[in-house]
Amino acid sequence: MTQTLADNDLRATIRSIPDYPKPGIMFRDITTLLGDARAFRRAVDELVQPWAGMKIDKVAGIEARGFILGGAVAHQVSAGFIPIRKKGKLPHQTVRMAYALEYGTDEMEMHVDAVRHGDRVVLVDDLIATGGTAEGAVKLLRQVGAEVLAACFVIDLPELGGAAKLRAMDVPVRTLMSFEGH
């Protein structure tokens, strides 16, 4: 993806925190972007720009920052919102999918009635790294019959291969900026 002036403006709103949550990791904090009204609005607009005007039934957001971005995107495109949560957090009947973590696995859930067969869904989260969580979310959505139109992220860490993993699953990926390293 080529960087534009707009990308650089958004990039400047991301706070980088070295050695968090452990030594050697450069944490990319989007709370500073969320706190800047212009940057937040621009990020929401740009996340789904390639699909503007298409029928989007639902936007699925991955816990927790994906809820913030996904809710705003759903509002912007007049779609419903689906929270994809960690196991045990939803009160109604759920469907579940295991997904890969850096060291092991975890499980995510969504309500069994959150999607109707054939619903056109855009997946949203703040960042794509190794892609394990996003891959699990795509599989979960497809398991209940959703058509995953795209996956959208503010930040890509391309060296970790997550976006490529989703593209290999025939999911178009939209990112607004990338950072080298972890």
Tell me which residue of 139, 145, 60, 141 sits closest to 105, measured CA to CA.
Answer: 139
102 catalytic per annotation: yes
107 catalytic per annotation: no
Q: Which is catalytic among the residues 11, 28, 65, 174?
A: 65
Q: Which is catalytic among the residues 38, 42, 63, 102?
A: 102
Distance CA 22, CA 161 (A): 21
Task: Give catalytic residue positions.
Answer: 65, 102
